[in-house]
Amino acid sequence: LAKTTQPISMDSYEGQEVNITCSHNNIATNDYITWYQQFPSQGPRFIIQGYKTKVTNEVASLFIPADRKSSTLSLPRVSLSDTAVYYCLVGDKGRGSTLGRLYFGRGTQLTVWP
């Protein structure tokens, strides 16, 4: 069952691009990679999800290399409001009698400075 490793904290300044990398060496063939954002005293919020290569939406991009053992969340031109904890999540769906589990990483505290 794939678990994840990501940096505990990162600092950036407004207007910069931030890249947060997550390692998931034991990712399985059918696992998907999902990133969530969490502000204090709130539940996490979905950012982006992908299986391979590159996925982009209105708020972020997700880069996944061919071996899928890592992934990088890219936040373009961050602002103060992007200060939050970012979770990398790798999950399988489980089949038959196998119970699927959803593992969150420990999260990366991103702090954006003015």
Whole-Å CA distances, 93 to 5, 44, 88, 113: 20, 20, 16, 38
* Binding track over 19-58 against another protein, x by CB under 8 A: -------------x-x-x-x--xxxxxx--x---------
Question: What CA–CA distance (Å, rounded) separates 56 from 108?
Answer: 20
Contacts to another protein from residues 76-105, by CB under 8 A? 87, 91, 93-94, 99-105
Token couple for 97: 């009698």
Dist. CA 29–CA 46, nearest whole Å: 22
Count the neighbouring beta carbons within 10 Å of the beta carbon of residue 100.
12
Closer CB to another protein, residue 46 or residue 113? Answer: 46
As measured in angstroms, the least distance from the Cβ of 94 to another protein is 6
How far apart are CB 111 and another protein at their closest, in Å? 17
Residues that bind another protein (CB under 8 A): 32, 34, 36, 38, 41-46, 49, 87, 91, 93-94, 99-107
